[in-house]
Homo-oligomer: A and B are copies of this chain.
């Protein structure tokens, strides 16, 4: 079993890494030390960074990597979907208790098994305004996971992702800056997301309808979108508003 000291050593090494290669090497090493065979440190989609600035350090069976890309599973993969429901690591064997698996999901999991992946452990990595990601470690088929060290595995996953993020940020010169909305704009968008009209929002905020229209105009401009629906969803996606803001009554 790996020790806390080793985790800390990895953390230091990962933080010092300035290239994906260096980091890849460090992760590979600790993956083996933790008794895993495979790992994948990835962003789940490449939304606003179509040019490949997304994080992607993968050491998985070739077969599976190909099948994965073939099926464009980045965001529909059940493991990824499950990782979006928590912020602590979870064993793949628990996925069925986290999300509802449909027929396609089961097919995906079966395919992974056939490709040589055994049980695994995934650490979610979510940061408001950034693409969701995760860091997964997997055994070969048949191998047993040591539950006792999973908390340490979680730490490794978090630190690894953070290190990858740092490298990716440094590499991505034109920072895809998440548009910042003003407080008033956010209030308006939150109410838009609740299906209010400009006039209703104006009543609620105690200002003129024209003012609300203007705030939303400005907010749309900042996100570069032309529809209030898109505005609400983008604001939701990068955390300017949350489902709690919208759906609570």
Contact with B along A162-186 (1 / 0, CB 8 A): 1000000000000000000000000
User: Which residues in B have their C-beta under 8 angstroms from that of A233?
Assistant: 193, 232-233, 236, 243, 246
Interface-forming stretch among A18-26, A30-38, A45-53? A45-53
Size bracket, chain A contacts? 35 or more
Instruction: Report how far A84 CA is from B178 CA in the complex, Å.
Output: 12
* A76-B242 in contact (CB<8A): yes
Instruction: Report how far A44 CA is from B84 CA in the complex, Å.
Output: 19
Interface-forming stretch among A103-111, A205-213, A221-229? A221-229
Contact with B along A74-88 (1 / 0, CB 8 A): 111000010011111
Kindly report which residue of chain B lies nearest to residue A230, judged by CB atoms. Answer: B195
* B47-A248 in contact (CB<8A): yes
Instruction: Report how far A53 CA is from B158 CA in the complex, Å.
Output: 28
User: Which residues in B have their C-beta under 8 angstroms from that of A136?
Assistant: none
* B230-A131 in contact (CB<8A): no
Q: Which residues of A contact B (CB under 8 A)?
A: 4, 7-8, 11, 43-48, 50-51, 53-54, 74-76, 81, 84-88, 124-132, 148, 151-152, 154-155, 158-159, 161-162, 192-195, 197, 225-230, 232-233, 236-237, 239, 242-249
